[in-house]
Amino acid sequence: MNIEYVQTQGWKDYELIDSGDFYKLERFGDYILARPEPQAIWRKSLTDAEWEEMANAVFEKGKGDGERGEWVAQKGMPEQWRVRYDYKNMHMDMRLGRTSFKHVGIFPEQASNWCFIYDKISELRSTNEEVKVLNLFAYTGGASLSACSAGAKVTHVDSVKQVVNWSKENMLNSNLDDIRWIVEDARKFVAREVKRGNKYHGIILDPPAYGRGADGEKWVLENDIFELLEDCSKLLEEDGFVVFNLYSMGLSALLAEGLLRQVFGEKEITCGELYFEDRFKKRLPFGIYARF
């Protein structure tokens, strides 16, 4: 097992400026946002006045323990804007927007996985006439775009129609096409693919801690992930790859690695944390990954 702490490189349109007091100050393209961050347990390096002066929009949490809240934006801050990420011949143009759950449309640390996906597919295409990739819990499609950019046939699965439409927009902005879009519960789709006998060279999983399927199906990560991974193992080609992400606090890279090893066998699995370092050298973890 190889545990790594990986800071995503190559971003021109993203920067972690400061973090602390359970918030993070980030630049997405031309705009700076302040958002809650439960892992920023240290103190801010900049003053509150400096944060207030710099931030084009601040997410304020609502009452209670939920994730919902509202953005307080400066005059002239657009509802939507776009950012780019480039790697080799991968050129991704993604639309951002301020959502009521504090998300903006990308998880910038995932660019590390996008590059891994792009390189693995490029390798597989040298020995396979066609490379098929399945992206589950696919959100706004960063991983789908990276796989498509490398020449894979991509099936993109998410249970929220509006998010799939957002992904389609990102595909068109990136001058890509021919991604297969599925609005459905990931477990149901994978179970049907197993029955059909379909195979994929790459499987990407980015599951939430909790969620609902397209028809209201309940998803609880700890209860449901093992069975889903078992079904995914039946879909993976012998020379295939897997990218698995976890965001739930309290879960570890060791758990992610252990899940993949029990389900997929003795693969050369790399696992660890994805992080960004702010301007003051504070390293803020953004998520757990395991991949082979």
The domain that holds 42 is classified in CATH as 3.40.50.150
- Choose the weakest-confidence range: 36-50, 97-111, 244-258, 277-291: 244-258
Is 164:181 a contact under the CB 8 Å cutoff? yes
What pLDDT is stored for residue 124 in this prediction?
98
- How confident is the model over 144-195, as pLDDT tens digits? 999 999 999 999 999 999 999 999 999 999 999 999 999 999 999 999 999 9
Distance CA 270, CA 252 (A): 13
Compute, in degrees rounded to 10, the torsion defined by CA atoms 203, 207, 211, 214: -20
CA–CA dist 245, 116 (Å, integer):
13
Residue 48 has, within 13 A of its CA and on its CB side, a CA count of 2
Share of the chain above pLDDT 70, in %: 99
Question: Does residue 65 surpass a pLDDT of 70?
Answer: no
Q: Where are the alpha helices (DSSP H) in the chain?
A: 48-54, 111-124, 142-149, 161-173, 186-196, 221-235, 253-264
Sign of the CA dihedral with 133 first, then 134, 136, and 141 last: positive
pLDDT band at 64 (very low <50, low <70, confident <90, very high): low
Q: What is the mean pLDDT of the chain?
A: 96
Global pTM? 0.96
Sheet holding 14-20, edge to edge: 14-20, 23-28, 31-36, 57-61, 69-73
Residue 213 has pLDDT above 90, yes or no: no
User: How many domains in the chain?
Assistant: 1
With 0-12 / 13-18 / 19 or more C-beta atoms within 10 angstroms meaning exposed / middle / buried, residue 177 is exposed
Helix axes 111-124, 142-149, angle to 10 degrees: 30
At residue 3, does pLDDT exceed 90?
Answer: no
Q: Is residue 214 pLDDT above 90, yes or no?
A: no
pLDDT score of 48 more than 90: yes
Residue 175 is part of which domain span? 2-291
The whole-number average pLDDT for the span 79-104 is 97
Output the pLDDT for position 68. 87
The whole-number pLDDT of residue 251 equals 87
